[in-house]
Structure 1
Amino acid sequence: MTAIAAEAPAIHRVPVARGYRFELVKLLSQWRVRLLIIACWIAPAVFVAVVSRQASLPVDTLFGRWMHASGWAGPLVLLGFSGSWALPLLTSLVAGDVFASEDRLGTWRHLLVAVRSPRRIFVSKAFASLTVILLLVAGLVASSAISGVVVVGNRTLTGLDGHLLSPGDAAGKVLLAWACALAPTLALAAIGLLGSVALGRSPMGLLLPALVALAMQIVQMLPVPVAVRLALPGYGFISWNGLFTSPGQLKPLLIGMVVSLVWALVATGLAYFLFVRRDFTNPSHDGSGRLALVAGALPLVVLFGLTTAVMAPVAGATGSGIDQDKVQHALATEFAHLYRLQTEQLHRPAVTEAQLQSSAACTKGGDQVAAEGPGNDWRCVVSWHVPGVESAGSAIYQLDINPVGRYVADGDGPKEVNGYFLVRTPNGDEPNPLWQFDGLVELLPSTP
């Protein structure tokens, strides 16, 4: 008996690398995943090419009004759409189903016999789903960027404060913006892993990342305090806007990335905790239950409370972060940049921002409402000085500011300054740059 036992072959666990390759092949063999890959590598190119050729542009989307002017506006329009809809859906279909599919097929015991380690199974599945998600995101970026440059051209891009970005600078900022959006995407993917483990074969596990993203998107559109806004990983899909101002609004961008990565780590840790403690000997038990829900959902609620408490002193205020001084500064700065652009397009003598000395005086809803917070009732008068002219110029704007700080300025006269008329440019006739434009109000206190 001792000799027989000594001659028995040792049982070795399957290496993580081999398990990863096995899980990756399983994912790529699914027709649903293959269709997603094809769509992500083709659909953005078609979308950017078609929209860029239309006379009517998606001006309600950030950078949508510049899709005729620069090929780098298309990838940013797609990024805004993807952060709201495409990326949450992709994480749901990949990460939200990677564990639940084994419950539906009843293959857990076969997999455990082959791999012999629940921990290695979890790591292999997590990395395989992450690889597929990165492949899908890479398709969105490459397809939209190539299409925009080919159809429209590698041209300068107007930033959110009116300054011009060279084609090389615009390309770098676009790639960096997509890279920053990976952090909240990882957070949603981790929530998908958690839902797939905790809810088993229930379809709610598949829908969880999309539902969480929708809830966070609704919160971002509400007039909530800045601390609450920063505490959610969904803010990472918005904070990349600060890359397109000069100087860049990097503080909210870094906060959004850190918060998203913390959420990703916590959600992944919870999913791992539930998975390795699951009873695989009972085929009728798929991991769902009161303990799984409590251990999965309650810690995320606590995490949200903790991040909100940490963000409160960072935000520096309990309000929306949008006040009169910030609006006036943002509008005056952008007006000066765009005034220079208009001067160049109309072939007038060059002027600098320092010479213009632009300033803005803004009110909200008349004297009865405090000049703070989002709304479409902001009214601003911009004043500036042209060298050699004694009297100051003035122009009126109506501003619509949303809760995340983005505003749309609509020129309200005089017509020859900010009214609608076409300006002949090297790329064709374009609307007056001072007529309507997008801008960004920094929600956090400025760093001295």
Structure 2
Amino acid sequence: MTATVEREQPETQPEAQAAVRPAPLLRGYRFELVKQVSQWRIRLLLAACWIGPAIFVAVVSAQTALPADTVFGRWMHATGWAGSLVVLGFSCQWVLPLLTALVAGDVFAAEDRLGTWRHLLVAVRSPRRIFVAKAGASLTVILVMAAGLCASGIIGGLAAVGNRPLAGLDGHMLAPGDAAGTVLLAWLCALAPTLAFAAVGLLGSVALGRSPMGLLMPVLLAFVLQLAQMLPLPVAVRMALPSQAFLAWRGLFTDPAQTGPLLIGLIVSLAWAATATAMAYRLFVRRDFTDLTYEGSGRRVLTAGVLPLAVIAVLTFALVNVATSAKGSGILRQKLQDSLAVSYAHLYRLQTSELHRPAVTEAQLRAGASCDKGGPRVADEGPGNDWRCVVTWHLPGVTSAGSAIYQLDVTADGRYVADGDGPKEVNGYFQVHTSSGDEPNPLWQFDGNVDLLA
């Protein structure tokens, strides 16, 4: 009887080995998260994201020279909410893509450099769970960094300037409560393209292995898209790029909100994020981990990354071109005139309150604008700094109409800066004289935003 048991015992060992299950996903996620936070560069980035914007906003708000070339930069003296939007604009250009490169772009490549894949596979026993744990941990770190940028910018602005109304990109005033909600919504919208860049970082880290090019892919993508956004591309091509959502949040600060470009930008960004993540997952689970000399493959990046993302861009271009009526650059004379007239009417009321004059409404002002680009031989459309506009308005009880001249610098993404060119008492000087002292003249220079899809 004993001999029989001893003979049967070895036959049960393979069954016991087969019953061994992979490590729990939550445990793997926590392990990867601890690995991320234990790195000195990640700790330094977290500290910079949670402290740096507050210091920057507080210092700049106390200066006489403001970053007027940045959207909402000229309002940093007026309200604390403008500082967070300045931080958002700068973060969308470089900070968020850089963070995704340093976190998601290195999460898989680090194991290749250290040669620790065998140990990790023995401990977890599931490539799928390893991928999910690493992707989830990197995403968590990126979201914490983005939350730090948002919270720090808001705290710094409110502490330095105060919780005051914010002027939108069409001149209408947002109460502090409305400004708070819109600012937070703008930061939330910026997370969608951040996810797209993070997914590209994951794809580069998986496909290129220990090569530094995987780490640089989100930054290179951001640089290429920045150059593309500066070009006078057709509006349908512009909407097909994931970087559009990094700019479209500006439409939240008009009344009514310009939701068309924003919604398209969010959908495109999420499509890029899902596709790049799926391609990275497919490459990772099919990888031969017994090859200790794995150096990545640029061909895999082309076939599994660039081509699928290019297909999404082409499909988006076709859908936008068919579903919307916007053609060319999307910047037309009538759009610009309407936007300028609305902004002028709102800001004229603000100047009226500063000068303690009798209140007027936009309906009473009946503001209008007439614009011309570069003279009679140039078509009145497209970006450029050669737009010249004349704004007219009416005051109750006054028979003659008032007029003011503006020089407009319109960028390819629809933002424009209106620079007052007289008369001096209206928009020709950067300050107005009030009973309580000199105050910034809201009609001297102001930002606007044209809806490219309207």
Partner of 2:420: 411
Partner amino acid for 1:229? R
**Residue 11 (structure 2) aligned to one of 2, 5, 13:** 5
Amino acid at match of 2:185: L
The 8 Å contact of residues 108 and 280 in structure 1, kept in 2 or not, is answered as yes
CA contact (8 A) 1:122 1:272 kept: yes
Distance of 2:129 and 2:165 partners within structure 1: 48
Counterpart of 1:51 (choices 42, 60, 70) is 60
Say if 1:360 and 1:383, in contact at 8 Å, map to a contact too. Answer: yes
Q: Secondary structure at the match of 2:381?
A: coil
Asked if the contact 2:355–2:435 (Cα under 8 Å) also holds between the matched residues in 1, the reply is no
Equivalent position of 1:225 in the other structure:
234
Q: Deviations over 1:217-262 (max 9, x none)?
A: 1111110000111101101100000000011111111111111000
Question: What TM-score do you get using the length of structure 2 for normalisation?
Answer: 0.96
The Cα shift of 1:112 comes to 0.6
Q: Distance in 1 between matches of 2:109 and 2:435?
A: 56
Q: 1:30 corresponds to which residue?
A: 39
Quote the residue 1:364 is aligned against. Answer: 373
- What does 1:322-341 correspond to in 2, within 5 Å? 322-341=331-350
Q: Distance in 1 between matches of 2:362 and 2:431?
A: 23
8 Å CA contact 1:340–1:352 kept in 2: the answer is yes
- The Cα offsets for residues 251-309 of structure 1, whole Å up to 9 and x where unpaired, read as 11111111100000000001001111111111112442534532222222222222221
Question: Does the residue aligned with 1:181 lie in a helix, a strand or coil?
Answer: helix
Tell me, which stretches of 5 or more residues in structure 2 are unaligned? Answer: 1-6
- When structure 1 is superposed on structure 2, of 288-297 and 127-136 the one drifting more is 288-297
Consecutive unaligned residues of structure 1, counting only runs of 5 or more, are none
Q: Secondary structure of 2:425's partner?
A: helix
Find the partner of 1:136 among 127, 145, 150: 145
Closer, same or farther: CA 281–421 of 1 in aligned 2, 3 Å? closer
2:23 to 14, 34, 41: 14
Larger radius of gyration: 2
- 1:278–1:287 contact (8 Å) kept in structure 2: no
Q: Which residue of 2 aligns with 1:345?
A: 354
* Cα distance in 1 for residues equivalent to 2:191 and 2:45: 18
Q: Is the Cα contact below 8 Å between 1:183 and 1:261 reproduced in 2?
A: yes
The separation in 2 between residues aligned to 1:122 and 1:286, in whole angstroms, is: 18
69-78 vs 305-314, which moves further = 305-314
How does 1:195-206 map onto structure 2 within 5 Å?
Answer: 195-206=204-215
Deviation at 1:413, TM superposition (A): 1.1
2:123 equivalent in structure 1: 114
TM-score where L is the length of structure 1: 0.97
Partner residue in 2 for 1:264: 273
Query: Kindly tell me: are residues 425 and 150 of structure 1, through their superposed partners in 2, closer, same or farther at Cα, counting changes over 3 Å?
Result: farther
Structure 1 residues 144, 125: CA separation in 2 closer, same or farther (over 3 Å shift)? same
Q: State whether residues 197 and 218 of structure 2, in contact with CA within 8 Å, keep that contact through their aligned partners in structure 1.
A: yes
Q: Match for residue 88 of structure 2?
A: 79
Match of 1:147 in 2: 156
In structure 2, the CA distance between the partners of 1:125 and 1:268, relative to structure 1 (3 Å rule), is same
Q: Is the 8 A contact 2:101 2:217 kept in 1?
A: yes
Q: 2:216 is matched with which residue?
A: 207
Partner of 1:249: 258
Q: Map of 1:156-167 to 2, 5 A cutoff?
A: 156-167=165-176
Query: Are residues 325 and 413 of structure 1, via their aligned partners in 2, closer, same or farther at CA, if it must alter by over 3 Å?
Result: same
Residue among 67, 70, 73 paired with 1:64? 73
Whether the 8 Å CA contact 1:419–1:432 is kept in 2: the answer is: no
